[in-house]
Structure 1
């Protein structure tokens, strides 16, 4: 049963995040420390250095041989359900959009498990909850965040990719390109663009996307961490202290710098609720209703029961992943919606999650 000291532990875990957020916000809004270009540089620092090292650090310390594969299967089924619904909506509805499907997937499935989930679910269900939350975080980083990264890279390549532009120098009147007589010259020898306007082939785009992912540490940080976890747990050795210290010095800044970057982004918007009230409500519905509902279906489908079933549903209702905002900002896709989802999701998550806990205990 949750007591006041347990609620206090969650508040203690969340308040420092808002301190980092307000420092970033004040750096632009009040103190005018950063320019927009410098804000982009901060976001890239977070995206390519602190978050990958943060992801590697917690993945490297999980025990892959003690993972609950039914729980992971339930999580996979829930996300497949969401993907299927969003793909159908994008293809068959007049209001459907693949770009909004990407954002809606983030809103309904990607959670901030480590910061909020661990202290709250530990208070609810003890050590078993911590183990399951860490497992879901590792799977989220390896499969779903990497998949999101792939889709965002593909979208950017598709939207910007065109066939090579060719510039030809036209000859003066009376001469062709080889110097022969030609009465159709343009009179000044100025080059013209031959802009075919067609998109590159699918395989050309795929090759470019994979090349970019290979250079992006977010795409393999968790995989490398999990490989290390397999080896260290199989052969019973620990990470050398010099290596662990080198990782920790940056990874410990991961969540804080991500929140700081979000504060910078908020300060550059005209409104604190950057996406408007209707989209905020839309994001909260996806976050706290659609995601847990899909997870309940997946959990029941694989036969989860008792506390594991309740943990699965509650962890699906955790607030929005901070990493999803960093990706949205980096790739220019509805960052205002994701920033609002992170901020307000954390504000309302505590009463919502306690309500879920009370309802599930009552039904039990």
Structure 2
């Protein structure tokens, strides 16, 4: 059973995150030492330098030959279930849209495994649980965050190319502004529509952007090194390790600092309002764990491993996904639900742990 001392360890691990967030908020709102323009530059620093190095650093230390692939498969099945349901949402409901599907997927499935998950599950179940959560973090960085980045780039490239094909006077909202107005032919007769870019030109633009974005290959380079190092049993030279660590250690802190800057630029701390915040909490603490329970049972997980899979799915939203949402301008205000989620996550996760313990 988890003790008050274990809960205190989790609180100690989480408290520094809120110090960094508070410093970012105060730098803009109270002390006014950082301007809105500088906030954008800081977010670029986090997105393109500190987070890629942070991802690379923890990925290269994992042992790929000792991974629990059944546990990883359960997580993958749950994410596929959520992705399929969200992809069908715009087709089945007038209130759905693909942009909201992307945001909902991020809120319900991408977790803050390293910062919150590691100390929490270690206190609950021990070192073996910590190792499994780290493994999921690596897979999340390599597969799911890379796919999220691909979707963001696809949306950005599609909107940009469609806008170039449209007339300069087009205006409106996420996809209405990229539709081309009708153009008359030389005889003043029927209307024509400006041509849209081909699928291949769109893919070319997206892959070029991904190739220039360090987030898309930091985890891949890291896991490649991990395979080589664990296969032939050698370590990274200390001079290279130190060069990576000096910036990667700032990754999580700078991400929280950037989130504080974003909060300070909004009129309200929870910029998305109470309704969307509640929606985000339902996705995070109910929909995500429910999908994970289905996936875990489907692949045959039982006992404490099944409980761990459900609990890790209820961890707060990934900070990296918030940084991406802000960088690409897709519902970053809704992603501030991660702030409220981190505040309420501890009692929710302990409640999950107690209930699952009684059920076993």
Considering the TM-score relative to the shorter chain, is it more than 0.5?
yes
Match in the other structure for 1:119: 119
SS of equivalent to 1:238:
coil
Q: How many angstroms apart in 1 are the aligned matches of 2:212 and 2:115? A: 28
Match in the other structure for 1:357: 353
Match in the other structure for 1:210: 207
Tell me the alpha carbon deviations over residues 140-174 of structure 1, each in whole angstroms, 9 at most, x when there is no partner. 0001000000000000111121386799xxxxxxx
SS of equivalent to 2:61:
coil
Q: How many angstroms apart in 1 are the aligned matches of 2:355 and 2:32? A: 47
In 1, are the aligned partners of 2:122 and 2:129 still within 8 Å (CA)?
yes
Match in the other structure for 1:84: 84
Q: How many angstroms apart in 2 are the aligned matches of 1:199 and 1:254? A: 39
Match in the other structure for 1:68: 68
Consecutive unaligned residues in structure 1, runs of 5 or more: 168-183, 185-194
1:12 maps onto 2:18 in alignment? no
Match in the other structure for 2:254: 257
How big is the shift at 1:103? 0.1
Match in the other structure for 1:270: 267
Tell me the alpha carbon deviations over residues 32-69 of structure 1, each in whole angstroms, 9 at most, x when there is no partner. 11221110000000000000000000000000001001
Tell me the alpha carbon deviations over residues 320-364 of structure 1, each in whole angstroms, 9 at most, x when there is no partner. 10001100000000101112x211111001000000000111000
Aligned residues between the structures: 337
Match in the other structure for 1:286: 283
Q: How many angstroms apart in 2 are the aligned matches of 1:157 and 1:238? A: 40
Tell me the alpha carbon deviations over residues 4-33 of structure 1, each in whole angstroms, 9 at most, x when there is no partner. 111111111111100000100011101111
Match in the other structure for 1:138: 138
In 1, are the aligned partners of 2:166 and 2:194 still within 8 Å (CA)?
no
Q: Which of 318, 336, 343 in structure 2 is aligned with 1:347?
A: 343
Match in the other structure for 2:177: none
In 2, are the aligned partners of 1:163 and 1:199 still within 8 Å (CA)?
no
Q: Which of 322, 326, 339 in structure 1 is aligned with 2:323?
A: 326
**In angstroms, what is the RMSD of aligned CA positions?**
1.6
Q: How many angstroms apart in 1 are the aligned matches of 2:225 and 2:90? A: 39
Q: How many angstroms apart in 1 are the aligned matches of 2:243 and 2:333? A: 34
Match in the other structure for 1:52: 52
Q: How many angstroms apart in 2 are the aligned matches of 1:133 and 1:91? A: 35
1:317 maps onto 2:314 in alignment? yes
Match in the other structure for 1:179: none
Tell me the alpha carbon deviations over residues 296-330 of structure 1, each in whole angstroms, 9 at most, x when there is no partner. 00000000111111111100000110001100000
1:220 maps onto 2:220 in alignment? no
How big is the shift at 1:244? 0.4
In 1, are the aligned partners of 2:113 and 2:133 still within 8 Å (CA)?
yes
Consecutive unaligned residues in structure 2, runs of 5 or more: 168-185, 187-191
Q: How many angstroms apart in 1 are the aligned matches of 2:270 and 2:222? A: 36
Match in the other structure for 1:173: none
Match in the other structure for 1:187: none
Tell me the alpha carbon deviations over residues 219-276 of structure 1, each in whole angstroms, 9 at most, x when there is no partner. 0101110011001100000011000000000000000000000000000000011100
Q: How many angstroms apart in 1 are the aligned matches of 2:145 and 2:232? A: 29
Match in the other structure for 1:238: 235
Deviant stretches of 4+, over 4 Å: 163-167
